[in-house]
């Protein structure tokens, strides 16, 4: 199956170190040779880069690794095809507009065919079960909230409901971002780590590369990295529970509900 990687940060950050280990799984330490892609969310919108070549053979992947782009939210994917041809239009992440913002989406798992309500705004351009699920997810959100984007908790609850509906048809691990928040849903395997003060040294599992984050980060930096399987061997990765959806903001997972009268303050950069 495919593999997922994502980052949510308190301020624009590069994913170069984690992407270096992740890309190794795209044909060298893993069997995911059927394409790769990455989406960068910044204040200017969403930049989407995809390639049907294996990550280890892709000049574009090499460029992303050598000249990493900084963003607050990043979604990446390496593909092992189960549904759909090996082609650019079937390469994740996928991107669509909803409520005036670009959403990106990447999926790991396999879904059995099912009937989805028609929505002319969201039609698959390729032939993957993943893009069908993404189109259904956004179409269902628009149908539930036709007057515009709801409050965060209502949106979180709706995404959870729709994710469980889709997951009834198979394995539905996914990463979803609107550029402000990052949603991660687990059916089988998904892990995350939060990198914050006091920073430490991390060693990649898939290649002989380490980094001392103390040399590259400030005291107020906080970065959450989400991956199908842990990328480093000496950090405390946390496993998602099957069926769990987490929401990340400001580089950390957010509580499901806010206590009465509570105010959350996000780090200002």
Catalytically active residues, by annotation: 2
Judge contact between 224 and 253, C-beta under 8 A: yes
Report the distance separating Cα 244 and Cα 156, nearest Å: 12
Which residue in this structure is represented by tokens 């065919």? Answer: 113
Answer for the pair 37, 93: CB distance below 8 angstroms, yes or no. Answer: yes
- Whether the ω angle into residue 198 lies within 30 degrees of 0, i.e. cis, is yes
Ramachandran angles phi, psi of 248, nearest 5°: -115, 135
Structure token digits, residue 117: 């309500």
> Strand pairing partners for 114?
none
Contact status, residue 4 vs residue 34, Cβ threshold 8 Å: no
């Amino acid at each position: 199956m495919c593999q997922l990687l994502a980052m949510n940060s308190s301020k624009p950050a590069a994913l170069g170190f984690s992407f270096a280990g992740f890309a190794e799984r795209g044909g060298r330490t893993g069997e995911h040779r059927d394409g790769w892609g990455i989406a960068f969310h910044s204040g200017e919108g969403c930049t989407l880069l995809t390639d049907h070549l294996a990550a280890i053979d892709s000049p574009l992947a090499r460029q992303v690794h050598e000249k990493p782009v900084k963003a607050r939210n990043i979604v990446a994917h390496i593909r092992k095809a189960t549904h759909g041809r090996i082609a650019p239009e079937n390469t994740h992440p996928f991107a669509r507009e909803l409520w005036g913002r670009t959403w990106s989406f990447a999926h790991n798992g396999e879904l059995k065919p099912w009937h989805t309500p028609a929505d002319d705004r969201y039609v698959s351009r390729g032939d993957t079960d993943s893009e069908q699920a993404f189109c259904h997810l956004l179409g269902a959100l628009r149908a539930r909230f036709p007057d515009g984007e709801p409050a965060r908790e209502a949106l979180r609850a709706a995404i959870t409901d729709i994710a469980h509906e889709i997951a009834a048809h198979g394995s539905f691990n996914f990463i979803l971002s609107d550029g402000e928040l990052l949603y991660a849903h687990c059916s089988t395997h998904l892990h995350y780590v939060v990198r914050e003060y006091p920073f430490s040294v991390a060693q990649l599992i898939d290649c002989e590369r380490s980094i001392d984050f103390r040399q590259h980060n400030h005291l107020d930096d906080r970065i959450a990295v989400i991956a199908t399987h842990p990328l480093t061997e000496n950090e405390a990765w946390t496993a998602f529970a099957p069926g769990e959806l987490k929401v990340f903001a400001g580089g950390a997972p957010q509580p499901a509900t806010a206590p009465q009268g509570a105010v959350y303050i996000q780090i200002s950069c």
